[in-house]
Amino acid sequence: MDIKTKLRLAFGLLFAVVLSFGGISFYYMNKIAQSSTNILKDNYESLSYASKMRKILDENPLPLTPVLADQFSVVLNKEQSNITEVGERGAVSALSEAYNVIIDSNTSLSTKQKALEKARIQIRIIEEANMNAVVRKNTEAQEGGQKAANYLILAASICFILLFSLAVNLPDLVAKSQK
């Protein structure tokens, strides 16, 4: 094998090592970024909706004005479209039922008060489900990050061994070819 071929192989190996290390790094960084995006998208929106609904119920007396009832209804519809956690669907359904009692003009004030308490409980369930999910998903993302770091350390170690071997052996190969 002539020196030109040996150099091409050596630099080809170097290129392949750097490219594979970069690919592994890109894959895991993308995976971690996607995990954090999902946490924000799925759970932050539900927590925001729950906060808005709670604010409307806590800061306004019954019966709700038509404007407040419409605002609550809009936020409730958004939450119904953003069900992402176990138990959230049932809580949103129960909240919707309680809300219908609250806005029903034929219902007595004492019945509306009971429905208001039920609505507050359901909002708390939605908040707890989403806060627990944030904690769980954050733990999973941290574990994924640690796993990625371990893979990158392994890949970096292999790359270092290959490149060190190349750096040590390449001058000998070139020198032998010169003789």
Tell me the pLDDT of the chain (179 aa) as tens digits: 677 777 778 778 878 878 887 888 888 788 777 777 777 777 889 999 999 999 999 999 988 899 999 999 999 999 999 998 999 999 999 999 999 999 998 999 999 999 999 999 999 999 999 999 988 888 888 888 788 888 888 878 887 887 788 778 777 776 776 66
| pLDDT value, residue 178 | 65
Query: Which amino acid is present at 14?
Result: L
pLDDT for the residue numbered 77 = 96
For residue 162, the model assigns a pLDDT of 79
Whether residue 136 contacts residue 123, with contact meaning beta carbons closer than 8 Å, is answered with no
- Put residue 159 in one of left, alpha, beta given phi > 0 → left and psi -120 to 50 → alpha: alpha
Tell me, what's the pLDDT at 72? 95
Contact 100, 119 (CB under 8 A): no
| Gap between the Cα atoms of 76 and 92, Å rounded | 8
- Looking at residue 53, its pLDDT comes to 97
User: For 29, which DSSP code?
Assistant: H
Cα separation of the two ends of the chain: 13
Q: What is the per-residue pLDDT for 179?
A: 61
